[in-house]
C-alpha cells in the first residue's frame, strides 16, 4: 500500500474494499494552514472506521436531524449548510487530505459544532460505521462522472450502492444527488427509478429544481456562466 492509499487520520487505510473504486486519490498536500487546523481539530471533529458503529446522539450530544454528505470536496458547501442549519447535524466523508484540512479550517473559522468528518472510503462508513435507519438525508453532490464509457462501472451511483444507502436512511429520509454531467444525470435517474424502496420527490418524476439549501459552488457558478447544466435528483425512502 502506498502513501497515497493512506487516509490522513493516523495513517489508516483509505478503504478495506477490494476491486473497482469510484475514486482515485489525487496528488496534493495540505497547505500549512490546513495542516495546522488538522493537527488541532481532528481529535475533536474526526471520526474513524476503527470506532465501529457510532451512536449519533453520543457523537453530537443531542438528537437532531442528521445529514450525511459523501465526497464533500474542499468542504465549503458542507460548512455553509451546517452554518445555515445549526439545529441539524452533519457528517462529511472525504478521502482527499486537503479537503479534510480545508473543512476543519472552516469549522474553526465559523465556530461550527454540528459537523463531524470521516476521511475514509464512504463504502466503509456505510458498511461499518453507521446504524441502520439513522440518517435523515444523504447528499452526493458532483461525484466523479467517469465520462469514458469503459469507466462507467466506477461511477459511485449504482443500484447496489443505492440499496446500501437505503438501509441507512430512515423511512421518509431523503437521498439528494447532483451532477453537472448530463450523461451521468441520465444514469442517476435510471438507477434511482429502478431502485427498490425509493420514490421521486417530484410527483411528475424526473429532475428537481435545485433545493434552496444546496449551496451553489464556485465551480457550479463558473459552469453556469459557460452554459453548462446542473441536474438535481431528490428521492425519498419508502420502505
pLDDT in tens, 161-188: 999 999 999 999 999 999 999 999 999 9
Q: Which residues are marked as active site?
A: 144
| Stretch 92-96: mean pLDDT | 96
5-36 per-position pLDDT tens digit:
555 545 678 877 565 555 566 657 889 999 99
Cα distance between residue 79 and residue 84, in whole Å:
9
Residue-wise burial string across 103-115, b where 16 or more C-beta atoms lie within 10 A, e elsewhere: bbbbbeeeebebb
| Residues in Cβ contact with 2 at an 8 Å cutoff, skipping those fewer than 6 apart | none
Report residue 206's pLDDT band, with 50, 70 and 90 as the boundaries.
very high
Residue 1 pLDDT level (bands cut at 50, 70, 90): very low
pLDDT of 42 higher than 60: yes
**pLDDT reported for residue 18:** 64
Residues 6+ apart with CB under 8 A from 10: 48
**Position 158 confidence tier, pLDDT thresholds 50, 70, 90:** very high
Q: Containing H/E element for 65?
A: none
Rounded to whole angstroms, how far apart are CA atoms 56 and 200?
27
Cα separation, 234 vs 208, whole angstroms? 6
The per-residue pLDDT for 113 is 98
Amino acid at each position: 500500500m502506498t502513501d497515497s492509499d493512506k487516509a490522513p487520520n493516523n495513517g489508516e487505510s483509505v478503504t478495506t474494499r477490494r476491486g473497482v473504486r469510484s475514486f482515485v486519490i489525487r496528488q496534493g498536500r495540505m497547505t500549512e494552514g490546513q495542516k495546522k487546523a488538522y493537527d488541532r481539530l481532528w481529535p475533536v471533529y474526526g471520526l474513524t472506521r476503527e470506532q465501529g458503529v457510532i451512536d449519533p446522539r453520543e457523537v453530537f450530544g443531542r438528537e437532531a436531524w442528521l445529514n450525511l454528505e459523501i465526497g464533500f470536496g474542499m468542504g465549503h458547501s458542507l460548512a455553509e449548510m451546517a452554518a445555515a442549519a445549526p439545529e441539524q447535524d452533519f457528517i462529511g466523508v472525504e478521502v482527499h487530505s486537503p479537503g479534510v484540512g480545508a473543512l476543519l479550517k472552516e469549522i474553526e473559522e465559523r465556530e461550527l459544532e454540528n459537523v463531524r468528518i470521516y476521511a475514509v472510503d464512504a463504502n466503509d462508513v456505510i458498511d461499518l460505521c453507521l446504524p441502520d435507519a439513522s440518517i435523515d438525508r444523504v447528499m452526493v453532490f458532483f461525484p466523479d462522472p467517469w465520462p469514458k464509457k469503459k469507466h462507467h462501472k466506477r461511477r459511485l451511483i449504482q443500484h447496489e450502492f443505492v440499496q446500501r444507502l437505503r438501509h441507512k436512511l430512515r423511512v421518509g429520509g431523503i437521498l439528494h444527488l447532483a451532477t453537472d454531467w448530463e450523461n451521468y444525470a441520465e444514469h442517476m435517474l435510471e438507477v434511482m427509478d429502478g431502485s427498490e424502496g425509493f420514490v421521486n420527490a417530484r410527483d411528475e418524476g424526473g429532475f428537481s429544481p435545485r433545493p434552496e439549501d444546496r449551496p451553489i459552488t464556485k465551480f457550479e457558478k463558473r459552469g453556469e456562466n459557460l452554459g453548462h447544466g446542473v441536474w438535481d435528483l431528490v428521492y425519498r425512502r419508502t420502505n
